Amino acid sequence: MSAPAALEIRGLKKSFGPAEIIRGVDLVVPKGERHAVIGPNGAGKSTLFNLISGLLVPTSGEVVLNGARISGRPAFEINRRGLSRSFQVTNIFPRMSVFENIRCGVLWSANQKYAFWRGVQSAAGVAERTEKVLDEIGLTDRREVLAGVLTYAEQRALEIGITVAGGAEVILLDEPTAGMSRHETDRAVGLIRRISEGRTLMIVEHDMGVVFGLADRISVLVYGEIVATGPPAEIRASAKVKEAYLGEEAHA
């Protein structure tokens, strides 16, 4: 136990009014792990991501990033500390070009901050980094198009692009392949594999093919609690998981 884990969640709880949605989550994600979170609709997966990324403040418990407590900190500060997330519902800058969208993801990490005294063109490394991300997500040809008029699959790719543009060490992806065709999903999985190389990834995903192909470990979240965590083979074999979750899938 030398280096701290990338992400450590301790006794995390969140209530909306009387409804307790996250009911005590404990989870340790070591550096470099690809960790999938699965669970039925409404289990609280997105809420968990919202708590980690600072969109929501936990009712109790804490989230620790690389040994430093981040829960309760504002979202932009958590992002600056190296945790970046994507959204289940596409969340981009619609009336800006694809290029601009990605560049917005690059600027802070390139130490541009709120600079209004120098041109964005002259900022060292920003254009190169933006180009590289555009290339990675396969949108180089679409760079001048307004993000709002991209196809759905392109917008999902852009969503991932914005998320990874700043080079965060810990990446959270919320259902990146939802609503995609088989072919588009395969491309997206390739992309996720590439961008998560050498980083820590947490991914919420309903597509079991994607989950079992990608994840080093899987956590099963049911009704606000993690009922099992383990490598894919173990999760697949677990009777508890089958009953709580995979069983439901089989019925559907």
Partner 1 sequence: MSDTTASNSRSGETIRANPRSSALRAAGPWLLSAAALVALPFIFRSDTYLTVMSLMGIAIVFALSYNMMLGQTGMLSFGHAVYYGLGAYFVVHGMNWAIATRAPIPLPLMPLVGGIAGLGFAVIFGWLSTKRSGTTFSMISLGLAELVGSSSLILRTFFGGEEGITTNRTKLLRLTDWSFGSQFQMYYLIAAWCLISAVVMYALTRTPFGRMCNAVRENPERAQFVGYNPQVVRYIAFCLSGFFAGIAGALAGINFELANANLFGAAQSGTVLLATFIGGIGTFVGPVLGAVLVSYLQVMLSDITEVWQLYFGLMFIAVVMFAPGGLAGLVQMHAPVVRAGVIGRLMPSYLMAIVPALLLLLGVVMLIEMTVQLAVKQSEGPAMKLFGIGFNANQPWPWLLMVVLLASAYALFRLVSPRLSAAWDSARVTAAERGIVI
Q: Which residues bind ligand ATP (CB under 6 A)?
A: 16, 21, 39, 41-47, 88
**Strand intervals (E) in 5-101:** 7-16, 19-29, 34-38, 60-65, 68-69, 83-85
Sole binder of partner 1 in the list 99, 205, 211, 219 (CB under 8 A) = 99
Among residues 40 and 105, whose Cβ is nearest to partner 1? 105
Rounded to the nearest angstrom, the gap between the alpha carbon of residue 37 and the centroid of all alpha carbons in its chain is 11
Supply 26's token pair. 């404990």
Distance CA 82, CA 38 (A): 24
Which of the stretches 7-15, 143-151, 175-183, 228-236 binds partner 1 when contact is defined by CB under 8 A? 143-151
Strands 217-222, 34-38: parallel, antiparallel or unpaired by DSSP? parallel
- Contact predicate 92/101, CB 8 Å: yes
Among residues 124 and 233, whose Cβ is nearest to partner 1? 124
Coil vs helix vs strand at 176: coil
Kindly state the smallest distance separating residue 106's Cβ from Mg ion, in Å.
Answer: 27
Among residues 88 and 112, whose Cβ is nearest to Mg ion? 88
3-state helix, strand, coil in the chain (%, to 5): 40, 25, 40
Taking CB under 8 A as the rule, does residue 127 contact partner 1? yes
Sole binder of Mg ion in the list 46, 71, 79, 130 (CB under 5 A) = 46
Which of the stretches 58-66, 80-88, 106-114, 221-229 binds Mg ion when contact is defined by CB under 5 A? 80-88
DSSP 105: H
Kindly state the smallest distance separating residue 122's Cβ from ligand ATP, in Å.
Answer: 42
Taking CB under 8 A as the rule, does residue 124 contact partner 1? no
Distance CA 147, CA 183 (A): 22
- Contact predicate 84/164, CB 8 Å: yes
Summarize as ranges the residues that interact with partner 1 (CB under 8 A): 53-55, 74-76, 79-80, 84-85, 87, 91-97, 99-100, 103-105, 107-109, 112-121, 123, 127, 143-146, 162-163, 165-166
Residues lying near Mg ion in the complex (CB under 5 A) are found at: 45-46, 88
